[in-house]
Amino acid sequence: MAFKVKMAETAIRRDSRIILALDFPFQTPENRRELLRKALKVIEDTNPYVCAVKINHHLTLPLGTFEGVREIVERIHNKGLLAIMDAKVNDIGNTNQIIADYYLSAGFDCIIANPFVGWEEGLKPLFEVTKKSNKGVILLAYMSHKGATEGYGQTIIDPESGEKIPQYISFARKALKWDADGVVVGATVPNKIAEIKNTLGKQIAIYSPGIGAQGGAAETALKAGTNYLIVGREIVNAENPGQAAKSLNEMIRGA
């Protein structure tokens, strides 16, 4: 079963569009076990209200891919959730394939990649290895921070049509052409979400980070066309992460 189908079915079954991002503050190496314990506790408390969990370098660097992170991925799967690796893969093809092999071996269901690197000898090998395993690839179309306009927001000349278009629209078109499982568009730029949604239609889901801590609003993003909300600090740094996830999920369902 393709990742995009698994994701949709899990969201329906869990009645949630929230993807929990385990973005914890820096911990010294001596506190790695405490960081692992905290991550597992947050999953335990929030799992009834989310449909997937996203991990990035915040945890892979201190905990290790095949040590603490694999334990976290196993816990995610035991809770009936999907595990997304936010590696922002962006290198030559051989390197991208090996990166994918490692993360898939660790149990991840999907990998986030950066389309700036291109297709031939770029992301093509990553797509091939993930699709062969029925795993997913999500592409960055427009990130949630202010500086995103310098790259994702620049105007380019489309090499096929010769028209001037925003870089993020080019990336949305590539997502369709490459059969990506989703695109990332920051919740902080609802106008960009709407534009990209108009390009993608219903074929590819939009994943939006930046809720809360970066100023993005869940309801605004959903109205613009977001399918899934990636939420990190708003939940993991809360006094009661479980209650924070529950309240946000109830608000989303009401919206």
Q: What is the average pLDDT across 229-250? A: 94
Whether 216 has a pLDDT exceeding 70, the answer reads no
Burial class (CB within 10 angstroms; exposed 0-12, middle 13-18, buried 19+) of 18: buried
Residue spans of the domains in the chain: they are 3-254
Q: What is the average pLDDT across 130-142? A: 95
For 54-112, write each residue's pLDDT tens digit.
999 999 999 999 999 999 999 999 999 999 999 999 999 999 999 999 999 999 999 99
Q: Residue 213, Cα to own-chain centre: how many angstroms? A: 17
**Are the beta carbons of 218 and 229 closer than 8 angstroms?**
yes
CA distance 37 to 83: 18
The CA radius of gyration of the chain, in Å to the nearest whole number, is: 17
Strand spans (E) along the chain: 18-21, 52-55, 82-89, 110-113, 136-142, 155-157, 164-166, 182-185, 205-208, 228-231
As a whole number, the mean pLDDT across the chain is 94
For 149-180, write each residue's pLDDT tens digit.
888 989 989 888 889 999 999 999 999 999 99
Query: What confidence category does residue 212 fall into, taking pLDDT thresholds of 50, 70 and 90?
Result: low
Strand partners, 109: none
Whether 213 has a pLDDT exceeding 70, the answer reads no
Q: What is the average pLDDT across 7-22? A: 97
Length of the chain counted residue by residue: 255
**Are the beta carbons of 51 and 19 closer than 8 angstroms?**
yes
CATH fourth-level superfamily of 3-254:
Aldolase class I (3.20.20.70)
Do the strands 164-166 and 155-157 form a parallel or antiparallel pair, or are they unpaired?
A: antiparallel
Catalytic residue selected from 38, 88, 124, 174: 88
Query: What confidence category does residue 214 fall into, taking pLDDT thresholds of 50, 70 and 90?
Result: low
Q: What is the average pLDDT across 29-50? A: 94
CA angle at 139 for the pair 48 and 18, rounded to the nearest 5°: 15
Q: What are phi and psi of 123, to 5 degrees?
A: -90, -10
pLDDT at 211: 78
pLDDT at 148: 84
174 tagged catalytic: no
